[in-house]
């Protein structure tokens, strides 16, 4: 009898639980007693909007490179100087100042192929910025007559792009609010307060025409009116990136020596002797011993493929020698000294900053200011205000300090570069970048 009563009690309890669950599923706007799971998202609407507007470009960037190929390194070195003079002469012919011409460091390297070619490849990249498309087109026409110049593209940009972004952002936010209202009405509801905004606006960096587009994206989350809204503040997330160019005050030059021989012992002796000779010549220029470092010798097997068969040629020994210089003049002298040697490969010179942390601090400060300005831009477009900062995330992990070509003009620090042609094989400016994701409360 007791077991029967227990069974009946269990059945009644199940029926009561089922009735409560049914009541919860049929409840509306929280009028019935409902226990909400923790962290469950409140009733909300999620929409996305995009706005784009074209503006007449007022700056044009022409990218091109000079590529020379030959057996004589010293001849290539001199031919590159001729090409540089032709480029600057062409720029002058169409009224473009030398200050608007940037150039990367010259690189002379040995292309690898299966024919064991002894030829070298010399490459130098250039970028020219002008305010008129006619100037860019005229220069492009002149450069196209030089067979060794490879013209990549001409991009149109806006110098005052940031000042034109407010109009585009406002339209994108208005679109998002409009969509939220319409979707709510379509199901008999009304849009309530803003819960979450993720916005971004940028000037397009890949424009080939005479106009430049400014694009704004908005992802908006709004509460449904009269629903049980969360007590959490409305949040806005934006991202910002900034870069600045600085004159380098340190230069890292890389050279390499390589030999191939079937005799390992003879190979090591040969490369040790040659490395000592090269380092001695480097020190003769007044470079401190502590600024010269020779990496460990790398030894690999060399194979030749003839008539479908693999034949052992010998061992290839490679040693890299790195040299730090405090001046561009000394770095240039190193290239002048070693570039003519057929068995020494010039891997390029990288401009550096001794006090990079200070420069990075300046760029980070500017990035934060820009992020806050962008946050205010989106908040204003939504008729809200920026409140407390909730989160700062460094997004600079994907950025590296990159080398830009030497522009013959004034940089951020107001230093004027020399115009000596022998200096043009080495870039002398560094670009420092930072990127930030900012999340703030909205009031």
pLDDT at 7: 45
Q: Which residues lie below 8 Å from residue 286, measured CB to CB, with a gap of 6+? A: 330
CA atoms within 13 A on the CB side of 369: 8
**DSSP 3-state of 8:** helix
Task: Round to whole Å and give the CA distance between 217 and 172.
Answer: 7
Q: What dihedral do alpha carbons 320, 324, 330, 334 form, nearest 10°?
A: 0
Q: Which CATH class is domain 250-352?
A: alpha beta
pLDDT at 111: 62
pLDDT at 119: 75
pLDDT at 158: 84
Cβ proximity of 422 and 402 under 8 Å: no
pLDDT at 229: 58
Q: Which residues of the chain have pLDDT under 70?
A: 1-42, 110-118, 205-209, 227-232, 397-425
pLDDT at 5: 43
Considering only CA atoms, which of 194, 193, 198 is closest in space to residue 438?
Answer: 198
pLDDT at 280: 95
pTM summary value: 0.66
DSSP H helices, 284-402, are 328-338, 356-381
pLDDT at 228: 61
Longest CA pairwise span in the chain (Å) = 111
Neighbouring CB atoms inside 10 A of 49's CB total: 20
């Amino acid at each position: 009898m007791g077991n029967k009563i227990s069974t009946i009690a269990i059945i009644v309890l199940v029926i009561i639980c089922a009735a409560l669950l049914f009541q919860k599923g049929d409840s509306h706007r929280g009028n019935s007693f409902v226990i909400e799971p923790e962290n469950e998202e409140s009733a909300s609407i999620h929409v996305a909007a995009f706005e784009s507007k074209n503006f007449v470009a007022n700056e044009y960037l022409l990218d091109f490179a000079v590529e020379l190929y030959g057996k004589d390194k010293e001849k290539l070195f001199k031919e590159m100087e001729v090409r540089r003079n032709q480029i600057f002469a062409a720029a002058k012919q169409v009224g473009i100042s030398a200050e608007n011409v940037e150039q990367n460091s010259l690189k002379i390297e040995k292309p690898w192929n299966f024919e064991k070619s002894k030829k070298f490849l010399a490459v130098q990249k250039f970028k020219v910025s002008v305010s008129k498309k006619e100037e860019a087109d005229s220069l492009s026409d002149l450069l196209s007559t030089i067979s060794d110049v490879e013209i990549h593209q001409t991009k149109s940009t806006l110098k005052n792009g940031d000042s034109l972004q407010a109009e585009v952002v406002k339209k994108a936010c208005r679109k998002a609010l409009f969509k939220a209202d319409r979707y709510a009405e379509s199901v008999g509801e009304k849009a309530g307060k803003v819960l979450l905004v993720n916005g971004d606006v940028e000037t397009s960096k890949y424009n080939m025409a005479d106009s430049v587009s400014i694009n704004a994206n908005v992802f908006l989350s709004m509460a449904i009116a009269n629903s049980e809204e969360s007590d959490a503040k409305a949040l806005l997330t934006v991202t910002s990136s900034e870069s600045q160019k600085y004159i380098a005050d340190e230069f890292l030059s890389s050279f390499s020596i390589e030999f191939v021989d079937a005799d390992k012992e003879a190979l090591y002796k040969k490369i040790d002797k040659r490395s000592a000779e090269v380092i001695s010549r480097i020190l003769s220029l007044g470079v401190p011993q502590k600024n010269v470092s020779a990496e460990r010798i790398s030894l690999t097997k060399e194979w030749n493929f003839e008539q479908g068969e693999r034949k052992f040629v010998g061992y290839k020994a490679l040693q890299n020698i790195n040299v730090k210089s405090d001046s561009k003049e000394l770095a240039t002298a190193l290239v002048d000294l070693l570039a003519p040697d057929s068995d020494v490969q010039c891997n390029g010179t990288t401009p550096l900053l001794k006090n990079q942390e200070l420069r990075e601090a300046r760029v980070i400060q500017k990035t934060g200011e820009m992020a806050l300005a962008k946050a205010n831009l989106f908040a204003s477009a939504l008729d809200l205000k920026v409140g407390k900062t909730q989160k700062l995330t460094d997004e600079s992990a994907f950025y590296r300090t990159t080398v830009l070509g030497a522009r013959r003009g004034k940089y951020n620090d107001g230093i004027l570069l020399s115009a000596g042609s022998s200096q043009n094989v080495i870039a002398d400016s560094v670009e420092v970048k930072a990127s930030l994701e900012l999340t703030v409360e909205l009031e």
